[in-house]
Amino acid sequence: MGICFSCQVTHPTAKLILDDGGLKEFSEPVKVAEVLRERPDFFVSHSDSMDFDQYLIALSLENQLQVGHLYFLLPREKLQNPLPSSEMATMAVKAAAALQQKHKKNSRRMCRRSKIKPEVEHNMEGFNHLKESPSFRGTTVGDFRDLWKMKLSPVPEAFDY
């Protein structure tokens, strides 16, 4: 229980983990042929199609990388042998590191600009002399003490057992 706040606003992307551990993102579907144009000795595999000790499945050049999915860019020679569990674990670590690095960059950039603005209740009673004054100069912090009051309410919780 408590206040939860997320400052990161993200848009879903197709994520491609590169062979060097880097991350490339696409905000719209893109054809595999376009991705491989720069790297002809590689292939793209969908993360969901990978399994321990099974052959990797290369996506055809006409397939599209779909937003919200995770893909790997791998050298063509990896198609010749089943994927050992140790190599699959290495790929998972690379993917996790790339995604975490991206998350850290976004968090720092987005949180600096974010501000929480609580809902407040205006209580001008007793401050009529301030409202009518052409200027607030000379007003002390104490004069504003009751001007702004936080408006908090309990958060109802439902338990379905």
The residues, ordered by sequence, that sit 6+ positions from 56 with a Cβ below 8 Å of its Cβ are: 43, 45, 49, 50, 74, 78, 79, 83
**Does the global pTM surpass 0.75?**
no
Phi, psi of 74 (to 5 degrees): -130, 155
Most confidently modeled range among 9-18, 79-88, 102-111, 136-145: 79-88
> β-pairing, 14-17 with 70-75?
parallel
* HSE of 23, CA atoms in CB hemisphere, 13 A: 19
More confident residue, 144 or 45: 45
Phi, psi of 83 (to 5 degrees): -85, 110
Summarised one tens digit per residue, pLDDT across range 36-65 is 998 999 999 999 999 888 999 999 999 999
14-113 folds as: Ubiquitin-like (UB roll) (3.10.20)
* pLDDT above 70 for 74: yes
* pLDDT above 80 for 140: no
* pLDDT above 70 for 114: no
The residues, ordered by sequence, that sit 6+ positions from 40 with a Cβ below 8 Å of its Cβ are: none
Start-end of CATH 3.10.20 domains in the chain: 14-113
